[in-house]
């Protein structure tokens, strides 16, 4: 087995896109495609007098994970919140299309995004559908697509949709997954419906613990690259086939979840209905304690 990067202790949440990839993959195995030297920048941002990044906020390339060849993409949440623009999205689409031909052991997508850039809305929205189509083609080709969510921006908007298209998802407590972000919900429905400044509300509604308990994620990881690496290795070989039976099973699961929890007023109500002991304490549990809770309630939560 190739030696992994030695320093895996720093926070996944705090790390940059390149640091996450370096720590996740085997040591020095990553080769970047269209890196900063290529200067593939957004053609739209200068129109708004906004700075550009030479990688347009996403790092894509190939490497190995435990000596297995993988393609990987990592979004940089520090640049425009990791938002999808034309070039940003095209790099991910191209990587996925290459995967359908190269057939690596897996494609890994390290999400860190608030959604689509408003400055590139039309191009970005179109690109989201292209990425989702590309993921479908990759999965049909038998290549698992594993998403990892634990960055500052979470996986919102189009990123949330793309995450839902992945075969498997790893999430940390810090990771959040949703289509509509807290501010969007508050703007459209009022603070009485959802207070975006209530961080406890945001995390228990959209955060990693809730997603893991309700089947919105397949593995829960502590906030370290080592934990994400271990989870990704487990999930690569547990990805379901992408066929009609899988689609029907997922649709049935979602319908049952809506029927069971559709009238719940808050996340702890759902946790209680799932039979989680002392559901009011879930948010306060540390990673080890929560992992034990997940393991003990594996038959009761709405697993994917």
pLDDT in the model for residue 303 = 59
Q: How far is CA 2 from CA 5, 59, 225, in A?
A: 9, 22, 16
- Contact predicate 220/212, CB 8 Å: yes
pLDDT in the model for residue 165 = 95
Nearest to 82 by CA among 61, 47, 106, 111: 111
Per-residue pLDDT of the chain (304 residues; tens, 9 = 90+): 554 444 555 899 999 999 999 999 999 999 999 887 778 787 877 777 777 778 889 999 999 999 999 999 999 999 888 889 889 999 999 999 999 999 999 999 999 999 998 888 888 889 999 999 999 999 999 999 999 999 999 999 999 999 999 999 999 999 999 999 899 999 999 998 999 999 999 999 999 999 999 999 999 999 999 999 999 999 999 999 899 999 999 999 999 999 999 999 999 999 999 999 888 899 999 999 999 998 887 544 565 6
Domain ranges of the chain: 17-177+217-241
Query: Is the CATH code 3.90.226.10 the one for domain 17-177+217-241?
Result: yes
* CA atoms of 150 and 232, how far apart (whole Å): 13
157 Rama sector, left if φ>0, alpha if ψ -120 to 50, beta otherwise: left
- For residue 238 the two structure tokens come to 């547990």
CA-CA-CA-CA torsion for 261, 216, 296, 274, nearest 10 degrees?
0
Contacts of 145 (CB under 8 A, 6+ apart): 96, 106, 107, 109, 135, 138, 139, 165, 166, 167, 168, 239
């Amino acid at each position: 087995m190739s030696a992994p990067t030695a320093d895996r202790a720093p926070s996944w949440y705090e790390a940059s896109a390149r640091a996450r990839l370096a720590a996740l993959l085997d040591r020095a195995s990553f080769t970047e495609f269209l890196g900063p030297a290529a200067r593939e920048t957004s053609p739209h941002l200068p129109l708004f007098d906004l700075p550009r990044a030479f990688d347009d906020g996403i790092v894509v390339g190939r490497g190995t994970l435990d000596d297995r060849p993988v393609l990987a993409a990592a979004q940089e949440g520090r640049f425009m919140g990791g938002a999808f623009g034309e070039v940003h999205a095209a790099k991910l689409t191209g990587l996925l299309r290459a995967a359908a031909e190269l057939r690596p052991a897996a494609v890994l997508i390290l999400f860190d995004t608030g959604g689509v850039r408003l400055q590139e809305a039309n191009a970005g929205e179109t690109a989201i559908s292209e990425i989702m189509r590309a993921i479908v083609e990759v999965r049909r080709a038998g290549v698992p697509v594993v998403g990892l969510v634990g960055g500052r921006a979470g996986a919102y908007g189009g990123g949330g949709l793309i995450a839902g298209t992945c075969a498997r998802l790893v999430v940390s407590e810090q990771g959040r997954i949703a289509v509509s972000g807290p501010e969007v919900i508050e703007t459209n429905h009022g603070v009485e419906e959802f207070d975006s400044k209530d961080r406890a509300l945001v995390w228990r509604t959209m955060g990693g613990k809730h997603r893991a308990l309700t089947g919105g994620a397949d593995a829960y990881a502590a906030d370290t690259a080592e934990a994400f690496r271990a989870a990704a290795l487990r999930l690569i070989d547990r990805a379901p086939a992408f066929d009609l039976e899988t689609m029907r099973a997922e649709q049935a699961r979602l319908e049952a979840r809506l029927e069971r929890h559709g009238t719940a007023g808050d996340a702890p109500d759902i946790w209680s209905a799932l039979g989680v002991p002392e559901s009011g304490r879930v948010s306060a549990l540390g990673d080890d304690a929560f992992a034990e809770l997940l393991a003990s309630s594996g038959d009761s939560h709405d697993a994917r």
